[in-house]
Amino acid sequence: MAKPKGRPSSYSDEIADIICERIADGESLRTICRDEDMPASSTVFRWLAADEAFQEKYARAKSAQADALVEDILEIVDDARNDWMERRGKDDEGWVANGEHIQRARLRVDARKWMAGKLAPKKYGEKITTEHTGSLTVRHEDMTDDELARIAASGGE
């Protein structure tokens, strides 16, 4: 009797490509690794540690995953199917906002925005502006002649 086939544990370009394609489409590694024909997530992490080419493919897939999450956001906010519900009762009749659905949509959008910002901070992260408002003391003894000449030529700015 043949031994039942288990999860793959040896690296395979074919499986690595499938994993990366599914990640790029927006699936999480945890979800992918729940499939019986996929390796355990610990195996994937071992492959990542050992194979530079897979690391690069995986990084590109994670970047594409951020784009997929942003596309999901557009679908979520454009879907108004359950934003209203009909209320029927003795005193309440008519259409009312479905607050639960609207809040759930907001939560889904916020989660995807947060994750996209973590996966691709330069592209989707919060823009942080740093402003210096205090005085700055520069010791001319620590500056080269060229630096001092540049400051003198710029009028001290």
Predicted confidence pLDDT, tens digits, the chain (157 residues): 555 567 888 999 999 999 999 999 999 999 999 999 999 999 999 999 999 999 999 999 999 999 999 999 999 988 888 887 777 777 767 888 778 888 899 999 999 999 999 999 999 998 888 887 887 777 778 888 888 888 888 875 6
Residue 156's pLDDT is what? 58
Q: What is the DSSP string of 63-120?
A: HHHHHHHHHHHHHHHH--TTSEEEE-SSS--EEEE-HHHHHHHHHHHHHHHHHHHHHS
How far apart are the C-alpha atoms of 51 and 119, rounded to whole Å? 21
Alpha-carbon distance of 74 to 58, in angstroms, equals 25
Q: What angle do CA 117, 123, 127 make, to 5 degrees?
A: 75
Q: What is the pLDDT of residue 1?
A: 53
pLDDT at 98: 79
What's the confidence (pLDDT) of residue 4? Answer: 55
pLDDT at 19: 98
Report pTM.
Answer: 0.67
Amino acid, single-letter form, for residue 156: G
Backbone torsions φ then ψ of 48, nearest 5 degrees = -60, -40
Please tell me what DSSP assigns to residue 128. Answer: -
Note the residue count of the chain.
157
Predicted pLDDT at 38: 97
Question: Does CATH number 1.20.120.790 belong to domain 13-126?
Answer: no
